[in-house]
Amino acid sequence: MAGNFWQSSHHQQWMLDKQDLIRDRQHDLAKLTDEEYQKIFNFFASIIQVLGEQLKLRQQVIATATVYFKRFYARNSLKCIDPLLLAPTCVFLASKVEEFGVISNSRLITTCQTVIKNKFSYAFGQQEFPYRTNHILECEFYLLENLDCCLIVFQPYRPLLLFVQDIGQDDQLLTYAWRIVNDSLRTDVSLLYPPYQIAIAALHIACVMLGKENLKPWFAELNVDLDKIQEIVRAIINLYEMWKSYDEKKEIQALLAKMPKPCPAPQR
Amino acid sequence: MGDNYQNKIMAPVMMDYEFKMKTQNERSKVEDLFDFEGCKVGRGTYGHVYKARRKDGSDTKDYALKQIEGTGLSMSACREIALLRELKHSNVINLIRVFLSHTDRKVWLLFDYAEHDLWHIIKFHRAAKASKKSVMVPKGMVKSLLYQILDGIHYLHSNWVLHRDLKPANILVMGEGPERGRVKIADMGFARLFNAPLKPLADLDPVVVTFWYRAPELLLGARHYTKAIDIWAIGCIFAELLTSEPIFHCRQEDIKTSNPYHHDQLDRIFNVMGFPQEKDWEDIRKMPEHATLVKDFKRSNYQNCSLSKYMDRHKIKPDSKAFSLLQRLLLMDPNRRITSEQAMQDPYFSEDPLPTQDVFAGCQIPYPKREFLTDDDQDDKSDSKARQNQQQQQQQQQPNTQQNQVQANSHDHAANNAKRMRMSGQNQGNNPQGGQQEFHQQQQMMFGGQQQGAGSQQQQNFQQRF
């Protein structure tokens, strides 16, 4: 339910199994390595983030849009719908669900055009944002169908705030952990683990980064599956490791070219 | 070839053909699965509602198919789908399935069919009252209705969902079937999650609650919706169930004004409740429209008004448990109004007769079934009017097609109600005492609020069953 994670569609339908996830990606992983696949998602998560910021959406809305995006491709190949179309569609749908207020169609398209031109020219070159409102609206129906109308997404932000309150308000810790939660959207953890576990993992990483030894007893007292927390921590750390040796600006064009793409109707 | 096509800059393929075909083939169309042609039972700002049956006969249940007004996914459609997808409670309408019609971009929602709603039920009692007929219903019906409304709202509230548009038309009651006599709270189109308001709520929908059921703080410009606002509406509905009159009835001309302040509606509330004392509602001074209130209203004009007097005129005694619960629901100060949980603990519900799951408690349901609307009944009323007269002799004063209003939304509903109120106004208008006494006796029989009126043999027999 909307207030209860355990009865929500998020928990009941969208806590995916890692093995299933890997199996469903076989089509894409025939053409891309695991790392390339992750880099492509990282890139489109950036597009969603920048679009959301340009549209002045809250992080909660941006996170929901990112999870829609990941859920769609968890069940479908990248070739099914061009991710450059699905990304803004996710933002559009999430903004309505989270009641930010409807973004006007023209504002959405204009923002896409500006963002692609000004912030992602390293990926798209001179290519303009190719889609119009009718594309987004058509895509939105497909997105909603593929999400099985599960639109309420639980995010780690609220549990994070509660945990930090419990620890004793620590703004630096919260800021770090909050950013780590944002970064976690670039990994698969939002498909695999409940949001409160992601929040704990983010806190854990933040504590290590800040050298906060004194919080060990707090973690020890938590009644959680520490193996799961470790798995999440590892996934996020892996992302940071990947970033160290990765220059998106140089590599993304080749990756996008390699990405499986939609095929048009056969010509008769 | 596909790759070549991709490389052309201005002509991207947005969607894979194979994926599109596969999805299309798997998608079921609402008209392939359900029969509903000519079975429209409701129409309003929300769209159209049809009574539907499965075509394949795999079950013979009735379903309600709601075609959402307009095309595509409006924000309220999104909210409705998002919330209903998550909500599961026996007193909240159950969304079974969503159909997206890609060709005409229509959105359809499939629900269980509810044969009755409080708008029609109360109307039926009013009509009976006007023609001096009694309606046989179980003594505890009002109590059962209220209990289930509170139960549903408690579920919504504990899950961080506000209804924001509670009114009799949105309280459905199931007819014959496995869920007979069960309350279903409906029309959550405006409901929202409120645990983390991203935007001040008042910014989104300028006016969401039909004025009669609007809490005084909303009328004084409160910027945020609260649980207490839903509780006020439930209090209004409770009073209306007890008396068959909308307690804060007020003529409305302009329903969709964006200005929350509404002089006539406040005047009506004060006329029933009295003007709030400082000590009763300390924060009233902080309300955005407080200055206007002070300018427009004089306390002395309402000196003889009180809820107990109003309800006493309607033969609900101030020392009854029903009254004392009503008073707690209709506290002017939102901070002091009770919660749904507290209300469910009220002694009213532990007093005999106890609330029942089937609000009709196994008795015959006296209310007519929903009528089908014709597509052109806006212009041509004669047909449906004739049918109506035949089937519902009790309803003498029905001017036209008010049958249409199934879970009606603000506009039409309020307008029709207003019409209805004017037409039957004679009862209260010139000679309130005289007109109403008749009615009160009947009222006791109808809802069994008080014991004394139960004179007739039939009534006694009837009550023995409980």
Q: Residue range A101-111: average pLDDT?
A: 90
* Exposed / middle / buried, residue A54 (Cβ in 10 Å: 0-12, 13-18, 19+): middle
Question: By the 8 A CB rule, do B399 and B123 touch?
Answer: no
Contact status of A68 with chain B (Cβ, < 8 Å) = no
pLDDT tens for A12-23 read 999 999 999 999
* A67 CA to centre of own chain: 5
Least confident of A163-167, B57-61, B347-351, B386-390: B386-390
Q: Which chain B residues are Cβ-neighbours of A267 within 8 angstroms? A: 1
ipTM for the complex shown = 0.94
| DSSP structure string for B366-414 | -SPPPPPBPTTTTT--HHHHHHHHHH-TT-TT--S-GGG-SS--HHHHH
Residue B378 in this model has a pLDDT that exceeds 90: no
Q: At B167, is the secondary structure helix, strand, or coil?
A: coil
Distance (Å, rounded) from C-alpha B257 to C-alpha B266? Answer: 15
Determine the pLDDT at residue B424. 32
Determine the pLDDT at residue B190. 55
Q: Residue range A119-135: average pLDDT?
A: 94
Determine the pLDDT at residue B254. 52
The pair of three-digit structure tokens given for residue A130, joined into one six-digit string: 């190719």
Residue B354 in this model has a pLDDT that exceeds 80: yes
The verdict on whether residue B66 carries a ligand-binding annotation is yes
Q: Residue with structure tokens 């704990």?
A: A200
Catalytic residues of B: 165
* Exposed / middle / buried, residue B24 (Cβ in 10 Å: 0-12, 13-18, 19+): exposed
Q: Omega into A266 within 30° of 0, i.e. cis?
A: no
Q: Residue with structure tokens 């983030």?
A: A49
Q: Which chain A residues are Cβ-neighbours of B9 within 8 angstroms? A: 126-128, 130
* Exposed / middle / buried, residue A29 (Cβ in 10 Å: 0-12, 13-18, 19+): middle
Return the H-helix or E-strand segment holding B40.
Answer: strand B40-44
Main-chain phi, psi angles of A152, to 5 degrees: -85, 120
Query: What DSSP state is assigned to residue B341?
Result: H
Determine the pLDDT at residue B370. 95
Determine the pLDDT at residue B255. 52
Q: Which chain A residues are Cβ-neighbours of B81 within 8 angstroms? A: 144, 149, 151
Q: B153, B109, B190: which is closest to A149 by C-alpha?
A: B109
Alpha helices in B244-281 (DSSP H): 263-273
**Contacting A residues, span 131-150, partner chain B, CB-CB under 8 Å:** 131, 135, 137-142, 144-145, 149-150
Distance (Å, rounded) from C-alpha A113 to C-alpha A120? Answer: 10
Determine the pLDDT at residue B376. 58
Q: B11, B449, B289, B72: which is closest to A134 by C-alpha?
A: B72
Nearest CA in chain A to B201: A99
Mean pLDDT of chain B: 79
Contact status of A80 with chain B (Cβ, < 8 Å) = yes
Instruction: CATH number for A156-245: choose from 3.40.50.1360, 1.10.472.10, 1.10.287.950, 1.25.40.10.
Output: 1.10.472.10
Query: What DSSP state is assigned to residue B112?
Result: E
Alpha helices in B87-193 (DSSP H): 118-130, 141-158
The structural domains of chain B, ordered by start, are 27-112 (3.30.200.20), 116-349 (1.10.510.10)
Looking at CA atoms only, how far is residue B14 from chain A in angstroms? 5
Contact status of B5 with chain A (Cβ, < 8 Å) = yes
Question: By the 8 A CB rule, do B181 and A24 touch?
Answer: no
Determine the pLDDT at residue B164. 85
Determine the pLDDT at residue A100. 63
Q: Residue range A191-200: average pLDDT?
A: 97
Determine the pLDDT at residue B210. 65
Q: Which chain B residues are Cβ-neighbours of A65 within 8 angstroms? A: none
pLDDT tens for B175-216 read 999 999 999 999 865 555 444 334 444 444 444 446 899 999
Residue B431 in this model has a pLDDT that exceeds 70: no
Distance (Å, rounded) from C-alpha B320 to C-alpha B154? Answer: 24
Give yes or no on whether A15-152 and A156-245 have one common fold: yes
Determine the pLDDT at residue B395. 35
Residue A132 in this model has a pLDDT that exceeds 70: yes
Where do the structural domains in chain A lie, given as residue ranges?
A: 15-152, 156-245
* CATH T-level fold of A15-152: Cyclin A; domain 1 (1.10.472)
**pLDDT: is B391 or B321 the higher one?**
B321
Around Cβ B80, how many Cβ atoms within 10 Å?
A: 24
Contact status of A162 with chain B (Cβ, < 8 Å) = no
pLDDT tens for B432-455 read 333 333 333 333 344 433 333 333
Residue B464 in this model has a pLDDT that exceeds 90: no
Alpha helices in B179-289 (DSSP H): 216-219, 227-243, 263-273
The pair of three-digit structure tokens given for residue A73, joined into one six-digit string: 């491709």
Biggest CA-to-CA distance, chain B: 88
Least confident of A54-68, A109-123, B72-86, B353-367: B72-86
Determine the pLDDT at residue B277. 92
The pair of three-digit structure tokens given for residue B84, joined into one six-digit string: 């209903």
Around Cβ A250, how many Cβ atoms within 10 Å?
A: 9
Least confident of A16-20, B79-83, B325-329: B79-83
Residue A247 in this model has a pLDDT that exceeds 70: yes
Distance (Å, rounded) from C-alpha A145 to C-alpha A143? Answer: 5
Count of alpha carbons within 13 Å of A156, Cβ hemisphere only? 29
